[in-house]
Structure 1
Amino acid sequence: MLTVDLHVHSNRSDGSFSPTQLVDYACEKGLAAFALTDHDTIDGLEEAIRYAQELREEQNQAACAPAEASQDRGLQAAKRRAPEVIPGIEFSTEYMGQDVHVVGLYIDYRNQDFTGQLKAFVDSRTARNRKMCALLQKNGIPVSYEELTAEYPDAVITRAHYAKFLFSRGYVKTMSEAFDRYIGDDCPCYIPREKVTPVQAVELILAAGGIPILAHPVLYHMSDAQLDALTASLKEAGLVGLEAIYSTYNDADERRMRALAAKYGLAVSGGSDFHGTNKPGLDLAVGYGKLFVPYSVLEGLRKAAQEAASAP
């Protein structure tokens, strides 16, 4: 049965695999499709989509070549059957004082209004990171913003990058210590990000022609009433799907999320939230070993998006 993974990160945000490496790994895993959903950035999409297209062209050429000349190439192509790369994003938003993530699938990542909004987010992040570096310096950690970006040149800098940097330089003994002493919430070097609301994220995704999905709702540890209220408000704004299949869910979690999706007429989505080595033990396509997202989930999301677009 064909499988998909609709929640994947590259090193353009806080994953460890490059977009090209993700395509290769998806081939190895036999995925029919995966969504590259980096945090608040689309920087890896062009590379991943272009590389997957190149692999498909190689496969087509191998299939069309004379049998005696293409045997080896055909075998190689079969092993590297290119998945569909779904252009996506994961917005970090704030709702009632806590983080809530909204995934967008099939976004038009060349849409100028959309890219303009993302640039504003990047500019805000840059200002925040410079301030955090200044606070670290005041607390005896001589790290500059220039050093940080030189270490991670293609990434959207997150607190995970700070922790890795401090650990690699010997300023802390573990990455957890970096959060506990310096950059965790309410710590002396932490500055909160400027965030959009979940409703604004849904609206941005819709404006870019995408499919908005509420990511991993169980992780927010909301009461049933709070999660119900959030889902209702997002449905009214145009939410299409809800992540009911996820790496850390148990059977009861999945049943509860499927019931919530059904209550509000939302399609079910699912993904691993793969980050490479930055989330040890969590693998592409299978999560912690039991994740399974059939291709029918992607078909259901597409159908739901079409119906929503055609509704009066």
Structure 2
Amino acid sequence: MTSRTGSAPRIDLHTHSTASDGTLSPTELVRAASKAGLDVLAITDHDTTAGWGPAVDALPPGLRLIRGAELSCRWSGTQPAVPLHLLAYLFDPDHPDLVAELARVRAAREERGERIVALLRADGIDVSWPDILAGAGGGTVGRPHIAQALIRVGLVGSTREAFGPDWLGERYRLPKDDIDVFRAIRLVRAAGGVPVFAHPRATRRGRVVPDELIAELAAAGLAGLEADHEDHSPAEREHVRGLAAEWGLFVTGSSDFHGTHKTVQLGDFSTSVEAYERIVAEGVTEVASG
């Protein structure tokens, strides 16, 4: 694989659009990726494939698109369960079991959001669920949309502050009925996809799973670990690389771009050509090319 510029290919495998909690539409996202000099982009909205079609239709020349999703999962080996995210690449979007499970999770996410807003309103905070739904623009509703409502009424200054312990990170955080991570891996593999554990050691986000679980997930079909991510410290990145080497998993790097919801930019972290080629070789859906 060669880059459009003749340098090392730039591959960003974790981004979000307005189909979930990003601020760029799928069309705007692929155009921004091309402008940023990326060679490969993955669109990985939360629990949905709704952005795939518009992204493919708008692909600029020279940009390759990996269609994916970020699945909301949990590990119940301890209580309360640990939430985690699974990136799924190049799977069949019409696989019935996976389609049904993603629809269930989206409904649970919306129900959780409405309950959080009710708690905020009970404390006298003037946020509106209909306004938050409208702000989501028909995409998968998540806590970042509630964070934007808190910013609009002047209670916090940023999404990061909104996710702090006084707000959505703890005081107003509610669990939702996510997918058991082992079931998620089975579903992704059954749909012909390639599962990668997103930001597995990001302690700044909260609790993380024990290292021993990585071995179990690898045996269950996990393909890779996302190491290079803004929420991993340098030590955490190296730790993830060690786990990947121990269990025969490939390593990815990604921006986890959300537009203006985050400060990270497209391509701030990237994936090697070798890892990209493994994903392409294992996935059932072809990479789209502009």
Give TM-score scaled by structure 1 length: 0.77
How many residues in Structure 1 have an aligned counterpart in Structure 2? 269
Instruction: Answer whether contact 1:274 1:283 (CA < 8 A) is retained.
Output: yes
Corresponding residue for 1:67?
none
Q: In structure 2, which of residues 225, 228, 252 is the aligned counterpart of residue 245 of structure 1?
A: 228
Instruction: Answer whether contact 1:182 1:190 (CA < 8 A) is retained.
Output: yes
**Aligned-pair distance for 1:220?**
4.0
**Aligned-pair distance for 1:250?**
5.4
Corresponding residue for 1:113?
97
Cα distance in 1 for residues equivalent to 2:69 and 2:209: 25
**Aligned-pair distance for 1:302?**
3.4
Cα distance in 1 for residues equivalent to 2:241 and 2:166: 39
Corresponding residue for 2:64?
84
Instruction: Answer whether contact 1:5 1:272 (CA < 8 A) is retained.
Output: yes
Q: In structure 2, which of residues 37, 53, 73 is the aligned counterpart of residue 93 of structure 1?
A: 73
| Identity rate, percent | 33
Cα distance in 1 for residues equivalent to 2:134 and 2:209: 42
Q: Residue 202 of structure 2: SS of its match in structure 1?
A: helix
**AA aligned opposite 1:163:** A
Q: Deviations over 1:68-125 (max 9, x none)?
A: xxxxxxxxxxxxx341211111112222332211110112123333222211112222
Instruction: Answer whether contact 1:23 1:82 (CA < 8 A) is retained.
Output: no
Q: In structure 2, which of residues 256, 259, 278 is the aligned counterpart of residue 300 of structure 1?
A: 278
Corresponding residue for 1:42?
49
Give TM-score scaled by structure 2 length: 0.82
Q: Which runs of 5+ in 2 are unaligned?
A: 1-7, 285-290
Q: Residue 58 of structure 2: SS of its match in structure 1?
A: helix
Q: Which has the higher contact order (CA 8 A, sep 6+)?
A: 2
Cα distance in 1 for residues equivalent to 2:69 and 2:182: 15
Q: Whose radius of gyration is greater, 1 or 2?
A: 1
Q: In structure 2, which of residues 174, 186, 200 is the aligned counterpart of residue 203 of structure 1?
A: 186
Instruction: Answer whether contact 1:163 1:179 (CA < 8 A) is retained.
Output: no
Instruction: Answer whether contact 2:91 2:193 (CA < 8 A) is retained.
Output: yes
State whether structure 2 residue 168 is matched by structure 1 residue 183. Answer: yes
Q: Residue 244 of structure 1: SS of its match in structure 2?
A: strand
Cα distance in 2 for residues equivalent to 1:84 and 1:250: 29
State whether structure 2 residue 158 is matched by structure 1 residue 140. Answer: no
Cα distance in 1 for residues equivalent to 2:138 and 2:200: 29
Q: In structure 2, which of residues 209, 213, 216 is the aligned counterpart of residue 230 of structure 1?
A: 213
Q: In structure 2, which of residues 220, 238, 253 is the aligned counterpart of residue 270 of structure 1?
A: 253
**AA aligned opposite 2:65:** V
202-211 or 112-121, which deviates more = 112-121
Q: Residue 7 of structure 1: SS of its match in structure 2?
A: coil
Indicate how the Cα distance of structure 1 residues 140 and 26 shifts in structure 2: closer, same or farther if over 3 A, else same.
Answer: same
